[in-house]
């Protein structure tokens, strides 16, 4: 492609010849002079392009990508391209990396001058907007010829496929805040424990306030000082997720803001966060999906250890809600036949009043053996409408309607869960913290 400078020179020559003819210069003089100038420029352009192509081919310039092992949806990720020029000449370049259309990016294209025998790193930021497998194409370089007459597009490198996972940045933040005892910053409460668990943890020196019934006589005699037994919440329990992938979960209130996620993404993020919390406390975690096509169903058997979190991530990172009706009763029957051990079963769905005839029998079936927590996602639009200021009659009708719909939904949810205090109906962004708080309540109360 000709550069802007080349086009400007041609335009200037054409204007000069046109002005000369307008001022009365004879055509017999202007035409040969113009032809000679344009011919010389053409020869210069051909020589410049030929010479620059040879120098570029012999220069050995290469591009090295530095990519993360995976992406997290909604989390900005720094990517790097290393441009290596082992040759004896500098080059003026523009760099563009072919990202998947599902990415938002900043910092591309990037213009630079790559000096001879140097390595330069180009950094840019990419944010994935959808989970699944993302394709990163090859790198495009737009280099300028030695005389600056042309820009040549060069395609280098190989395409790569990378996975986009749920937002595991939330897991890292939870781990950091829990270690610093600041979980309240993300809405997770520190519960005062009423009573103690039954699993022995360790022996420790007696401190003021420790229950005297936990004194260990033999250890105290042996150590010649008061020693108490410390207990912890019961471990080796089971947490099982039932994730709705049907049409109810297709609700999406995303705007154009970068980093926002859909309701289903928020549900999957909450699932992963609670799975991390439960696994770190020694429990087993598993998951089943329902409401999706037969071939798209995922089934992760309950297991312990942080390896179970990797299994969940790899099996469920590309899940998307479909257009099928969710059969709650069939999902409850499948889980009841498969999971015999009493567990905390968490049903993640988007409840509607018309789902009651199917959802109530499913919950009753699960509660015969398991402790059931129904977690429903509530649209944020209702809350925004109910909280908006009233400036006129139309606003008053809107706010009143929002309050009426909210109350009707609250009443219908209470009926379907039989006024169970464990189940929740929250906005998507509050789901993760609320689920973790409910899990801690179950553990502290010894309900399992």
For residue 194, pLDDT over 50 is answered with: no
Beta carbons within 8 Å of 66's beta carbon, 6+ residues apart: 79, 80, 81, 82
For residue 311, pLDDT over 60 is answered with: yes
Rounded Cα distance, 268 and 273, in Å: 9
Rounded Cα distance, 166 and 132, in Å: 9
For residue 259, pLDDT over 70 is answered with: no
Q: Do domains 62-165 and 169-191+234-445 have the same CATH topology?
A: no
Please tell me which residue, 31 or 371, carries the higher pLDDT value.
371
% helix, strand, coil for the chain, step of 5: 40, 25, 30
Rounded Cα distance, 139 and 152, in Å: 14
For residue 208, pLDDT over 80 is answered with: no
Over pLDDT 90: what percentage of the chain? 12
Tell the CATH topology of 62-165: Immunoglobulin-like (2.60.40)
Tell the CATH topology of 169-191+234-445: Rossmann fold (3.40.50)
> 380-387 and 393-416 helices cross at what angle (nearest 10)?
140
pTM exceeds cut of 0.75: no
Kindly provide the residue ranges of all beta strands, DSSP E only, lying in 42-131, ordered along the sequence: 62-66, 71-72, 77-85, 91-97, 103-106, 110-114, 118-128
Tens-digit pLDDT profile for residues 47-103:
888 988 888 888 888 888 888 888 888 788 888 888 888 888 888 989 888 888 888
Average pLDDT, integer, range 278-302: 87
Phi and psi based region of residue 381 (left: phi greater than 0; alpha: psi -120 to 50; beta: remaining): alpha
Average pLDDT, integer, range 293-304: 85
In the chain, where are the structural domains located? 4-58, 62-165, 169-191+234-445, 199-232
Q: How confident is the model at residue 285 (pLDDT cuts 50, 70, 90)?
A: very high
The pLDDT value given to residue 375:
93
110 backbone dihedrals φ, ψ, rounded to 5°: -120, 125
């Amino acid at each position: 492609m000709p550069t802007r400078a080349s086009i400007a020179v041609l335009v200037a020559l054409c204007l000069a010849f046109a002005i000369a003819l307008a001022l009365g210069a004879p055509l017999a003089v202007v035409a040969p002079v113009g032809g000679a100038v344009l011919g010389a420029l053409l020869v210069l352009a051909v020589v410049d392009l030929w010479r620059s192509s040879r120098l570029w081919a012999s220069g050995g310039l290469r591009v090295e990508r530095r990519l993360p092992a995976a992406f997290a949806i909604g989390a900005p990720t720094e990517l790097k391209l290393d441009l290596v020029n082992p040759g004896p000449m500098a080059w003026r370049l523009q760099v563009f990396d072919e990202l998947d259309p599902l990415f938002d990016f900043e910092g591309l294209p990037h213009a630079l001058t790559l000096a001879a025998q140097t390595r330069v790193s180009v950094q840019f930021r990419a944010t994935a907007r959808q989970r699944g497998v993302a394709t990163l194409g090859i790198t495009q370089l737009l280099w300028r010829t030695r005389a600056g007459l042309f820009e040549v597009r060069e395609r280098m490198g190989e395409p790569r496929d990378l996975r986009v996972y749920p937002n595991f940045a939330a897991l890292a933040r939870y781990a950091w805040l829990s270690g610093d005892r600041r979980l309240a910053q993300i809405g997770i409460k520190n519960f005062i424990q009423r009573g103690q668990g039954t699993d022995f943890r360790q022996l420790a020196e007696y401190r003021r306030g420790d229950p005297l019934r936990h004194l260990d006589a033999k250890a105290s005699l042996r150590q010649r000082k008061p020693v108490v037994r410390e207990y912890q919440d019961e471990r080796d329990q089971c947490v099982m997720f039932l994730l709705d992938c049907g049409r109810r979960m297709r609700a999406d209130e995303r705007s154009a803001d970068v980093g926002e996620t859909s309701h289903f993404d928020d549900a999957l993020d909450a699932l992963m966060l609670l799975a991390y919390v439960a696994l770190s406390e020694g429990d087993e975690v598993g998951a089943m999906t329902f409401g999706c096509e037969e071939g798209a169903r995922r089934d992760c058997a309950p297991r312990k250890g942080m390896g179970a979190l990797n299994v969940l991530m790899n099996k469920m990172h590309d899940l998307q809600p479909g257009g099928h009706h969710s059969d709650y009763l069939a999902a409850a029957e499948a889980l009841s036949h498969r999971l015999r051990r009493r567990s905390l079963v968490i049903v993640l769905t988007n409840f509607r009043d018309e789902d009651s005839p199917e959802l109530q029998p499913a919950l009753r079936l699960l509660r015969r053996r398991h402790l059931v927590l129904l977690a429903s996602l509530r649209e944020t639009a209702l809350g925004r409408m109910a909280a908006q200021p009233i400036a006129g009659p139309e606003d008053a009708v809107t706010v009143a309607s929002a309050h009426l719909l909210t109350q009707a939904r609250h009443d219908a949810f209470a009926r379907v869960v039989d006024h169970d205090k464990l189940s929740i109906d929250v906005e998507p962004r509050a789901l993760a913290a609320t689920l973790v708080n409910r899990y801690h309540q179950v553990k502290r109360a010894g309900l399992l």
